[in-house]
Structure 1
Amino acid sequence: MFVSYRWLQEYVDLTGISATELADKITKSGIEVEGVDVLNKGVSGVVIGHVVVREQHPNADKLSRCQVDIGEDEPVQIICGAPNVAQGQKVAVAKVGAVLPGNFKIKRAKLRGEESHGMICSLQELGIEGKLVAKEYQEGIFVFPSDAEVGSDALAALNLHDEVLELGLTPNRSDCLSMLGVAYEVAAIFGKDVKHPEVAVEETTEKAADYVSVKVEASEDNPLYVARIVKNVKIGPSPLWMQTRLMASGIRPHNNVVDITNYILLEYGQPLHAFDYDRFGSKEVLVRRAKAGEKIITLDDQERALTEAHLVITNGTEPVALAGVMGGANSEVQEDTTTVLLESAFFKGTTVRQASKDHGLRSEASARFEKGIDPNRTRLAADRAAQLMAQYASGEVVSEVVEVDTLTVEPAVVAVSLERINSVLGTNLSMDEVKDIFTRLQFTYKEEEGQLIVTVPTRRGDITIEEDLIEEVARLYGYDHLPTTLPVSAATPGKLTEYQAKRRKVRRYLEGAGLYQAITYSLTSQDKATQFALEEADTVRLAMPMSEDRSILRQSLIPHLLEVVKHNNARQIDSVAVYETGSIFLSNGAGQLPMEKERLAGAVTGLWHMHGWQGEKKVVDFYVIKGVLEGLFAQLSLEDRIVYQPVKKEGMHPGRTAEVLLDGMSVGYVGQLHPVTQKDYDLRETYVFELDLQAVLNTEVAHLSYTAIPRFPSITRDIALVVDQSVLAGEIARTIKEVGGDLLTDVTVFDLYEGERMEEGKKSVAYSLRYLNPERTLTDEEVTTVHEQVLTTVEEKFGATLRS
């Protein structure tokens, strides 16, 4: 709902309250104001001008040379390209120095050799959306009424000095789908009165019953139908103030009669429809359900097939309107209309909703009927519209109305106690404070035995139970004034479990390392269900699978991650790095629910990083993905408890796959896919890993401790050991560290050599050993003693010799 700030001031005194402050107060009372739109959008220097002379531009067929009186000493010359500019018009003129939307500044210019001192503007150029501009002005400039004052502010005349509040209404607050409804809300917030429009209809001596009769067959769908006749109307533009209010509310002006019905819809929230009486086709209005196969051409020139679920207005034989949604083209008000049949009715919301949904028609009228209107405004809205038609369309209102009324509407009566209000809200309100709130809401009440018996106006159809009244008290008292308390049962605030916190750390680390999270199906096919699984177990099949490809619960995350890689490769994304944390399922036997375990898996292919300007590329290999895991284990403080050892696993490369051991127990693997597997998945060289995430995260670790930066220097010794090719470099490193004791702080492999001058079946592995005593400077003798013990041990255990 768009609410004009200046229009709202006609119903509520907002002196000293800015639009921004008003928006803040409405939001705090429970209706969100999604924004405040300043209509002038920074425009300045635009006045109303009078085109004194209009001539053809001497050097351009599509330009006009105009002499325009802008209220200054002399008319100014303006070159205009609008096709509808003409002598005698009152137009919007942006003077030299004016600013238009987008900070567009008007300067003196020459157009095809002719001086132009300003710009004659269209409404779009002043910041009004094209869809809101009347059809006759959509392709050219806007023309003011002839009585517009030359030299006066054009923005004020167009109501562009206004501000518009956009209310984000929830479905229950249909009462605020009208200016009067918003006025009641604002008046309650600020403790002010609501000023209603004065309705006084001057009627002729003729009777409306002589012109039309009304019959309603579907009384449940339409319990109230009111018809009025206004004759001798003159179709023309509506007053400028009305047009601008409609545009500010998001409705395009048409003509005075149609604009008045839309204006009443916005003012009262009561949809109206104006029929051309002479085109109506009869003197009878019959409201009924449509017949199967019946058709109607609506105002948007679309032919629509009707069903028995749709309510229609007919002239006794054929439909002339889809009730509550849209009128028919056969009875549309046109330029030659002289007599108007005005409809004001109460239609059942669900029936209107059905028709709106079936035909894909969402109108301002249907939105209000669906959410609920105030039936006590139906007659008043018809009278107000008739009054405006007499005033602005020169119409004569025929006396009395023709109506069918089977509607029984009683205001809701709801009881609530002060004790209950304070108990729910946690407040200590007095009875007088609660009474004041209901008075501001204009709810009548009486006090009986400590309870307030509240009579709710029909405009507030959302209030039916005790809790609704308590909500009204809370929002008018102020949500920000309610005391803050924890629930009685809550001893401590919630937090992540240790496992959840660790899992979040895992995800953040992997994303920081460059992997993207994937989420894949838990269901797979029979042939992929056990691929790459860490544990052997029977598969679990669905009783009613969607398809064979989604019939088995997975036992590994990797097959689906490989599908993700394949999908990206097929779309020319050659470098892919993804991971997933998810569940796998192991059978517990027939008729038993499966065991669910959480796994962490990843798949990487292509380039790991590339610096084009340096000509540097790093292709993913085994050590890249192993390094990612080493960093992960370091984040979890497990790096000293992890061991990698070669392993042969189905689907994995036999020489580039390692088993991951945590405290000697297998928790996963890392390596390259077997070339045959890569071919089966249509992949290039791809590396994967899968870990038992529960085993990793549930492992207890020591509390994090810090050590001071060493004050004393370290001593580094490098050794190159010749060993059999079957000996693992990691085993040698672990042995060196064990023998080195406390003085040996770091062991790093920095070279591997297998080639010429190396005995067949042998290899050279070079290590850098760093010795340090944090309490004093080491001597060469101390280091030599420990270093010789290291060399002796590796010689005895691995048959290693120092490379000469």
Structure 2
Amino acid sequence: MYVSYKWLENYVDLSGVTPDELAEKITRSGIEVEGVERIGDGIKGVVVGHVLTCEQHPDADKLNICTVDVGEEEPVQIICGAPNVAKGQKVAVAKVGAVLPGNFKIKKAKLRGEVSQGMICSLQELGVESKLVPKEHADGIYVFPENEEVGADAVERLSLDDSILELGLTPNRSDCLSMLGVAYEVAAILDRDVKLPEPSVSGSGEKASDYVSVRVEAKEDNPLYGAKIIKNVKIGPSPAWMQHALMAAGIRPHNNVVDITNYVLLEYGQPLHAFDYDRFGSKEVVVRRAHNGEKIVTLDDTERTLSDDQLVITNGKAPVALAGVMGGADSEVQQDTTTVLLEAAYFTGAIVRGASKHHGLRSEASTRYEKGVDPERVLKAGERAAQLMAEYAGGEVLEGTVLFDEMTVQPARVSITLEKINSSLGTAITAEEVEGIFRRLGFPVEVSGETFNVTAPTRRGDITIQEDLLEEVARLYGYDHIPMTLPQGASTAGGLSPYQAKRRAVRRYLEGAGLLQAITYSLTNDKKATQYALDVKEPVRLLMPMSEERSNLRLSIVPQLLEVISYNKARQNDSLAFYEVGAVFLNEGEELPREEEHIAGALAGLWHSHLWQGEKKAVDFYVAKGILEGMFENLGVSDAISYRQAVIDGLHPGRTAEILLNDEVIGFVGATHPEVEKDLDLDATYVFELKAAPVFGYDKAPLGYSPIPRHPSITRDIALVVTQDVKAGDVQAIIKEAGGKLLKEVSVFDLYEGEHMEPGKKSLAFSLKYFDPAKTLTDEEVVKVHNKVLEAVKAKAGAELRG
């Protein structure tokens, strides 16, 4: 809700309170003010000018030479290219030395040889958004009314010296979706009176009931409907002050009749609709549910198909408006309209919300109906609009309101005791202070001892129970005045659980390794729900998904990370590394799925680049695997981790490995399949995902230390010829087992499959380090153990020493 400070001054005395101070007070009382905007802030030297002459520039078809009176001794010459500039107009003139939005300074200039001493301004050039500028001024300069004073401050005359407070309202505070609602709130905060409009309309002698009748068939959806008739209206621009008020609230002015309905909407919070009586189609208003398949063309010139759960206003035959949402194009007010049928009605929130959602139409009217309007203001708003139409559209208001009224809404009565208030808030507020707070809020209250019997006005539909009154007392008393106390009794120091500590360690490690944290949707589509799942189960589908793209709970994080890589690559970010520690959801056949935490990552592009030295290293399988190995080392579980080649859907068959913890599969690491990369327009991308619980819950051995060795080690290198299907990891495991206590390290340092090798064979080279911390090993001791190793690899892997 955008609230104009100058407009608000019409209802509450704001003297001594600046816009910023008011914003702070409103925020401290429980309604957040998200910002204060000063529309004309920084504009200087712009005045109202009178165009005395306007002639075409001799050397430019689209320029005019204007002589403008700006309230000084002599008029000035200004070159203007606006198509609507003309002699006799009152316009906004930025004089030489003026400053416009964006710190744009006006200087004396020459245009095609003619001197220009200033600029005639459009509203856009004065900081008004294009979408809010009236259509007649959208493509040119703004023209003031003829009675505007020459030389006056144009910023003030355009109300650009105003401040706009943006209120971030919660759904329960729909009362503040109106200027009067905000006025009641501000008056309560400042302890001042509210000045309400007092509409007064003199009937023309004719009766509205002679022109129209009202019949409501859907009484539960529309318990109150009032119709007024205004004759002899003259369609034209609305007064400048009204246009400025609408633009400050984010609404574009149209004409006097439409602007008046919008103005009253903002003032009272009550939506109204003006029909062209002569285009309405009958003298009968019938409110009913739509028929299935019935059609209406709404004001946005869109044909809409209706259903029987939507409410329509009809002329007895065809729909002329979608109730509470938008009017029909056939009966809208146009330039030749002379008689207006004015609707002021109460529609229930559920029926309006359903129609608004079904047709994708969100309007100022539907927003207010959905959250609930004040039934006490419905007819008052209609009277106010009729008064303004008589005053600013020259209309004659016919006597009376044609009414259907079965409204049964009553003000809520809630009781609360002083003891309840003080015990709940931890305060010592007196009965007089509580009674004063209810008085400031405009809540009638009867005091019986220490019990307050409060009648909540219908404008405050959110007040229904004791806790609502507690909140009102607390926020008006001042949250800052509520005493702070520490909890009593024994307490323990907070801290992270071992699981939480390991999760944090993983995040710090991965970020330290160069990966950025991503937080992706837990919802995905049918196709991606089971991709890369470590535990393949039937995905959990939402009963009411927001869209088909977000209809299932995920079983893997990797598809979402690939979306992140694809999104960034499409925006020319090529070197990417992301990780996520998040939940997947496993369907166990219960009412709710089981959540399981996973650690996942995705990497693409260059991992290492020093262009000056000419060094580049692209991400590959070993980069991804190395990151994981460092993480396992950091968590102390590396001794229990192993890898084995695997084939997984969506991953490259030759560059993928399963991750095992104590021989149990907990995840995978590998390259994405070329088809996946083609579908997502990716370059080579590497991913990993593993279950967090087995890793975080692993009981690692206590930390131990070994003394720095005093005795030398002995290294032996061996090259073994094995068949192509033998894995280096399996051979390495055999060597470790056979080497016993003396063999401390085994590493692979070469693979050869060249032309000098028999078909179906390959050569694997290992480096073995032997060491005894207690003594220097002799050649005989090393040879004895080394021979056992050679015998073991020959027996278990069929390996032969390469000659």
What TM-score, normalized by structure 1, do the two folds share? 0.77
2:612 aligned counterpart, secondary structure: helix
1:499 aligns with 2:499: yes
Counterpart mapping for 1:570-609 below 5 A: 608-609=607-608
1:507-534 Cα distance to aligned partner (Å, 9 max, x none): 3313432456788999999xxx99999x
Task: Indicate the residue corresponding to 1:778 in structure 2.
Answer: none
Structure 1 position 568, deviation (Å): 11
Q: 1:410 to 1:120 in 2, by over 3 A?
A: same
The 2-side partners of 1:356 and 1:656 are apart by: 52
Shift of 1:414: 1.0
Contact 1:668 1:692 in 2 (8 A): no
What SS does structure 2 have at the residue aligned with 1:16? coil
The residue number in structure 2 matching 1:773 is: none
Corresponding residue of 2:230: 230
CA contact (8 A) 2:47 2:153 kept: yes
CA change 1:318–1:372 in 2 (3 A) is: same
Alignment-mate amino acid for residue 475 of structure 1:
R
**Does 1:372 pair with 2:368?**
no
State how far apart, in whole Å, the 2-side matches of 1:289 and 1:260 are: 28
Indicate the structure (1 or 2) with the bigger Cα radius of gyration. Answer: 1
2:423 match = 423
Q: Is the 8 A contact 1:522 1:584 kept in 2?
A: no
Partner of 2:219: 219
Answer whether contact 2:517 2:580 (CA < 8 A) is retained: yes
1:749/1:765 contact within 8 Å kept: yes
**3-state DSSP of counterpart to 2:458:** coil
- Structure 1 residue 365 displacement after superposition: 1.9
Q: Counterpart amino acid of 1:285? A: V
> Which amino acid in structure 1 is aligned with residue 419 of structure 2?
E
Cα distance, 1:424–1:67 mapped onto 2, change above 3 Å = same
What code does the residue aligned with 2:609 have? M
8 Å CA contact 2:77, 2:116 repeated in 1: yes
Determine the C-alpha separation between the residues in 1 that align with 2:279 and 2:604.
74
- Superposition deviation, residue 575 in structure 1: 7.5
> Quick one: distance in 2 between partners of 1:40 and 1:654?
64
Q: Which residue of 1 aligns with 2:328?
A: 328
Cα separation, partners in 2 of 1:626 and 1:155, compared to 1, 3 Å: closer
Work out whether residues 745 and 768 of structure 2, in 8 Å CA contact, stay in contact via their aligned partners in 1.
no
Q: Which aligned pairs between 1:327-366 and structure 2 lie closer than 5 A?
A: 327-366=327-366
Please state how far the C-alpha of 1:444 moved relative to its aligned partner: 0.8
- Letter of the 1:466 counterpart: Q
Structure 1 699/115 Cα, relative in aligned 2: closer, same or farther at 3 Å? same
SS at match of 2:192: coil
Query: SS of the residue aligned with 2:187?
Result: helix
1:181 and 2:156 correspond: no
Query: Displacement, 1:323?
Result: 2.7
Residue of structure 2 equivalent to 1:284? 284
Question: Over the residues paired in the alignment, what is the CA RMSD in angstroms?
Answer: 5.3
The 1:507/1:142 distance shift into structure 2, 3 A limit, reads same
- In 2 relative to 1, CA 509–223 (structure 1 residues): closer, same or farther, beyond 3 Å? same
8 Å CA contact 2:647–2:656 kept in 1: the answer is: no
Amino acid at match of 1:241: W
Deviation at 1:328, TM superposition (A): 3.0
Distance across 1 between alignment mates of 2:300 and 2:564: 50
Alignment of 1:627-638 (within 5 A): 627-629=626-628, 631-636=630-635
**Residue aligning to 1:462:** 462
- Percent identity reads 58
Alignment partners' CA distance in 1, 2:4 and 2:665:
66
Aligned partner of residue 205 in structure 2, secondary structure: strand
Say if 1:686 and 1:793 are closer, same or farther in 2 by CA, change over 3 A: farther
Whether 1:75 and 2:66 are equivalent positions in the alignment is no
Letter in 2 for 1:617: K
Distance 1:460 1:530 in 2: 51
Answer with 683-692 or 500-509: which moved more.
Answer: 683-692
Task: Give secondary structure in 2 for the equivalent of 1:270.
Answer: coil
Shift of 1:460: 0.9
Residues 468-506 of structure 1 deviation map (CA, whole Å, 9 limit, x = unaligned):
212212222233433456778994476431122112312
| Structure 1 residues 738 and 417: alpha-carbon distance in aligned structure 2, compared to 1, 3 A threshold | same
Choose 501-510 or 301-310, whichever is displaced more. Answer: 301-310
Counterpart-to-counterpart distance in 1, 2:657 and 2:277: 88
Deviations 1:24-49 (A, max 9, x none): 22122222222111111422211110
Code of the residue aligned with 1:36 in structure 2: it is V
- 1:774 match: none
SS across alignment from 2:398 = strand
> Contact 2:717 / 2:768 at 8 angstroms: preserved in 1?
no
Q: What does residue 618 of structure 1 align with? A: 617
Q: Which residue of 2 aligns with 1:91?
A: 91
1:394 is matched with 394
The answer to whether the 8 Å contact 2:78/2:116 transfers is: yes
Give the Cα–Cα distance (whole angstroms) in 1 for the partners of residues 561 and 64 of structure 2.
Answer: 68
Q: 1:752 to 1:344 in 2, by over 3 A?
A: closer
| Distance in 2 (alpha carbons) for counterparts of 1:326 and 1:587 | 44
CA distance 1:509–1:255, change in 2 (3 Å): same
Are the structure 2 counterparts of residues 353 and 107 from structure 1 closer, same or farther at C-alpha, using a change threshold of 3 Å? Answer: same
**Cα 1:792–1:689 shift into 2, 3 Å:** farther
State the one-letter code of the partner of 1:411: P
Change (3 A) 1:735 1:516: farther
The Cα offsets for residues 738-784 of structure 1, whole Å up to 9 and x where unpaired, read as 999xxxxx999999999xxxxxx998969899xxxxxxxxxxxxxxx
Q: 1:125 to 1:602 in 2, by over 3 A?
A: closer
Alignment of 1:17-28 (within 5 A): 17-28=17-28
Structure 2 CA distance for aligned equivalents of residues 471 and 73 of structure 1? 62
Deviations 1:196-250 (CA, angstroms, capped at 9, x unpaired)? 1233323333333333333333333322222333333332222111110011011
Q: Matched residues in 1 for 2:396 and 2:689: separation?
A: 85
| Correspondence 1:91-240 to 2 at 5 A | 91-240=91-240
1:33 and 2:33 equivalent?
A: yes
Report which stretch shifted further, 84-93 or 609-618: 609-618
Distance 1:600 1:752 in 2: 32
Does residue 5 (structure 1) correspond to residue 1 (structure 2)? The answer is: no
Seen in structure 2, the aligned counterparts of structure 1 residues 702 and 368 have a Cα distance that, compared at 3 Å, is same
| Counterpart Cα distance in 2 of 1:207 and 1:501 | 79
Q: How many Å apart are 1:691 and its aligned residue?
A: 7.4
Distance 1:635 1:174, change over 3 A: same
- The residue number in structure 2 matching 1:266 is 266
Q: CA deviation at 1:273?
A: 2.2
- 1:431 offset after TM fit, Å? 2.1
Distance in 2 (CA, whole Å) between partners of 1:389 and 1:569 is 55
Query: How far is 1:6 from its partner?
Result: 0.9
Whole-Å Cα distance in 2 between the matches of residues 10 and 137 of structure 1? Answer: 27
**Counterpart for residue 551 of structure 1:** none
Distance change (3 Å), C-alpha of 1:521 and 1:192:
closer
> Aligned equivalents of 2:294 and 2:668: distance in 1?
70
Distance 1:202-1:423 versus aligned 2 partners, 3 A rule: same
Distance 2:333 2:584 in 1: 68
The alpha-carbon distance between structure 1 residues 180 and 637, as it changes in their structure 2 partners (threshold 3 A), is same
Provide TM-score, normalisation by structure 2: 0.78
Aligned counterparts of 2:585 and 2:49: Cα–Cα separation in 1:
79
2:506 counterpart letter in structure 1: V
Matched, 1:382 2:382: yes
Matched residue SS, 1:11:
coil
Question: What code does the residue aligned with 1:401 have?
Answer: T
Give unmatched runs, 5+ long, in structure 1.
Answer: 534-538, 547-555, 741-745, 755-760, 770-784
Partner of 1:82: helix, strand, or coil? coil
Q: Which amino acid aligns with 1:248?
A: A
**Residues 1:27 and 1:706: Cα distance change in structure 2 (over 3 Å):** farther
CA contact (8 A) 1:651 1:673 kept: no
Flag the 1:4–1:766 CA change in 2: closer, same or farther, 3 A: same
Q: Which runs of 5+ in 2 are unaligned?
A: 543-554, 721-727, 753-762, 790-803
Counterpart residue identity of residue 9, structure 1: E
* Rounded Cα–Cα distance in structure 2 between residues aligned with 1:531 and 1:357: 36
8 Å contact kept, 1:558–1:603: no
**Aligned in 2, Cα 1:108/1:296: closer, same or farther, shift over 3 Å?**
same
Deviation at 1:793, TM superposition (A): 5.9
* TM-fit CA distance, 1:150: 0.6
| Conservation of the 8 A alpha-carbon contact between 1:667 and 1:696 | no
- State the Cα distance separating 1:179 from its structure 2 match: 0.6
After superposing the two structures, state which structure 1 stretch, 684-693 or 195-204, moved more: 684-693
Give 1:427 deviation, angstroms.
Answer: 3.0
Q: Does 1:697 align with 2:675?
A: no
